[in-house]
Amino acid sequence: MSALQGNPFLTWRDAQLCLEDQPLAALAERFGTPLYVYSRGAMRTAAAGYQRALAGQRHRLAYAVKANSNLAVLQTFVQQGLGFDVVSGGELQRVLAAGGKAADCVFSGVGKADAEVLQALRAGIRCINVESEAELHQVSRIASASGLAAPIALRVNPDIDAGTHPYISTGLKSNKFGVPHADALRLYRLATTLPGLAVQGIACHIGSQITRLAPYLDALDRVLDLVDALAAEGIRLSHLDMGGGLGIAYSATDDPPSPQALVGGLRERLDARGHHGLTLELEPGRSLVGPAGVLLARVIHTKPGAEKNFCIVDAAMNDLARPAMYEAWMDVSPCVKTATPPARWDVVGPVCESGDWLARDRDLAVQPGDVLAVLTAGAYGMSMASNYNSRPRPAEVLVDGTSVHLVRERETLPALYALEHLLPT
């Protein structure tokens, strides 16, 4: 299944590639390129898939803001009743600005600054996922000094290989995340004695772009062993947060489990081990927004060569870091079907790095001026974009049936250095 075939919101209508009802080439013309375009319908459908699968189970579904933190995206999920997984004071602030509530947010991350912990407690955060002994003391100190009770869970590192790219694997002993499984009981005991902490749950997150169920079930078993051992000591937890991480189809060879299959597998294991009553929490990011987005880029030049043909487009690694950073495979499609015969191209950006490529060895029919769509780019695209080479970040558009909304304007050049100061002369 190619990313295009797997996405009912992305279709060919005659010669035009459309997202929902909108021909992408026309959006590129209207808003300029590079341009991120997201389908609201695709996001809502993905969230509804999780919600259907979780029905009948005590649950909380928290969208991982880091995947795509545009306010209109967050607002879409607020309206659909989702909570949020945030990893910084900035992400919490965005959720509030989009109309969400701190009481629906979980705060993850290995290094939270004192000011961020205080900000979260004052806002009324639902849970802080604590990732070290030092952080337990930090949260306790800040909570007791401010007279607030901090609801916490410990993020446990289950030492499970999620079978994904090393940079996005998080559940191995060698990763910086979570407290070691072997230390968890001791740290829960400690947590119950520290002032200002209200121990509520347990969390784990083993990685991202996971394409098999087995690592999730292994992690769940390891975490439930702890839940049982804690209950035997009288420490009762009310929720279990299994993190995010579900993969999506970037290419014809990817066949990840559906949210239904993931949730079904987790529920079955919870029931089998007598834990139906635990609130099951999930923190998906990529699977809610990835397939909903495309990055549009216009071909500046074609540069055929002896070894490689380069198709140079106006989007680059600063706009979409995934290929440069993880050698990630992203599908690329022209936005208009033409009679040009296809040739083999490396699609590259204008940034001064050989790692600045978006796709390699693709058979594409392209000419200067054409618009290309990088598919499945709704997650970890704009949220990881930078201004490298003093390139303004792209604009973002959300399509919703026949409506088109500009949800972030293209950055202006003066905005790039607006916070800088010349030296006195």
Contact set with ligand LLP (CB under 6 A): 64, 67, 85, 108, 168, 205, 208-209, 243-246, 283-287, 322, 326, 380, 384
Could you list the beta-strand ranges (E) of 172-292. Answer: 179-180, 197-203, 239-241, 279-282
Q: Least CB distance from residue 28 to ligand LLP, whole Å?
A: 24
Q: Least CB distance from residue 67 to ligand LLP, whole Å?
A: 5
Q: Least CB distance from residue 381 to ligand LLP, whole Å?
A: 8
- Count the alpha carbons within 13 Å of 276 in the hemisphere toward its beta carbon: 7
Give the nearer residue to ligand LLP in terms of CB position, either 201 or 284: 284
Give the nearer residue to ligand LLP in terms of CB position, either 89 or 196: 89
**Which run of H or E residues covers position 75?**
helix 71-79
Give the nearer residue to ligand LLP in terms of CB position, either 159 or 370: 159
DSSP β-bridge partners for residue 246: 210
Phi and psi, residue 223, nearest 5°: -70, -40
Q: Least CB distance from residue 71 to ligand LLP, whole Å?
A: 19
Beta carbons of 407 and 396 less than 8 angstroms apart: yes
Active site residue 352: yes
Calpha distance 225→204 (Å, rounded):
13
- Identify which of 87, 218, 240 has the alpha carbon closest to the alpha carbon of residue 162: 218
Q: Least CB distance from residue 290 to ligand LLP, whole Å?
A: 8
Give the nearer residue to ligand LLP in terms of CB position, either 20 or 283: 283
Calpha distance 187→192 (Å, rounded):
9
Q: Least CB distance from residue 140 to ligand LLP, whole Å?
A: 21
Q: 217 CB contacts (<8 Å, ≥6 apart)? A: 265, 266, 269
Give the nearer residue to ligand LLP in terms of CB position, either 345 or 357: 357
- Identify which of 84, 206, 228 has the alpha carbon closest to the alpha carbon of residue 156: 206
Phi and psi, residue 411, nearest 5°: -65, 150
Give the nearer residue to ligand LLP in terms of CB position, either 126 or 298: 126
Calpha distance 386→212 (Å, rounded):
32
**Which run of H or E residues covers position 358?**
strand 357-364
| DSSP classification of residue 318 | T
- Residues marked as catalytic: 352
